[in-house]
């Protein structure tokens, strides 16, 4: 158990569906992250939140919409996705985004398949 919990673990959705991914961290951290992991590619940073404020939006298409209601919870709302969006979506948290406090701890991920 890493202290970062993601649900669901697996998700299959059609291109017209709307779904949400959930992440919860139990580590008392102030920063949370969404990453996309595709085969043979490095982890791609999507969004960063620090104390519930978005500090990074890495040119992600608008069909991905993040929400951070508090420092323990992070959501990724999905709508009208494309087949190329199929990937492992990872949530991470760190104590802060500042110097010496950016060790990121990851959840187990949500394996998303878009049909």
Partner 1 sequence: EDQVTQSPEALRLQEGESSSLNCSYTVSGLRGLFWYRQDPGKGPEFLFTLYSAGEEKEKERLKATLTKKESFLHITAPKPEDSATYLCAVQAAGGYQKVTFGTGTKLQVIP
Q: Is the dihedral of CA 103, 104, 108, 114 positive or negative?
A: negative
**Which is closer to partner 1, CB of 15 or CB of 55?**
55
Which region, judged by CB under 8 A, interacts with partner 1, from 2-10, 11-19, 69-77, 79-87? 2-10
Query: Residue written as tokens 């919990």?
Result: 5
Residue 107 near partner 1 by CB under 8 A? yes
Residue 103 near partner 1 by CB under 8 A? yes
Residue 83 backbone phi and psi in degrees, to 5: -55, -30
- Which of 8, 22, 30 lies closest to 113 in space, CA to CA? 8
Residue 22 near partner 1 by CB under 8 A? no
Residue choice 17, 24, 43, 63 for contact with partner 1 (CB under 8 A): 43
Residue choice 27, 51, 55, 115 for contact with partner 1 (CB under 8 A): 55
Residue 66 near partner 1 by CB under 8 A? no
> Distance between CA atoms of 33 and 15, rounded to whole angstroms?
24
Residue 59 near partner 1 by CB under 8 A? no
Residues that bind partner 1 (CB under 8 A): 2, 4, 6, 40-43, 45, 48, 50, 55-56, 58, 90, 92, 97-100, 102-109, 111
């Amino acid at each position: 158990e890493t202290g970062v919990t993601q649900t669901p673990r697996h998700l299959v959705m059609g291109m017209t569906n709307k779904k949400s991914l959930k992440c919860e961290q139990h580590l008392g951290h102030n920063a949370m992250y969404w990453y996309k992991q595709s085969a043979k590619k490095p982890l791609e940073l999507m969004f960063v939140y620090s104390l519930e404020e978005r500090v990074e939006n890495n040119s992600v298409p608008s069909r991905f919409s993040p929400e951070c209601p508090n420092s323990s919870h992070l959501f990724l709302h999905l709508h009208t996705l494309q087949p190329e969006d199929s990937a492992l979506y990872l949530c991470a948290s760190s104590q802060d985004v500042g110097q010496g406090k950016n060790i990121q701890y990851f959840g187990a991920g949500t394996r998303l398949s878009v049909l």
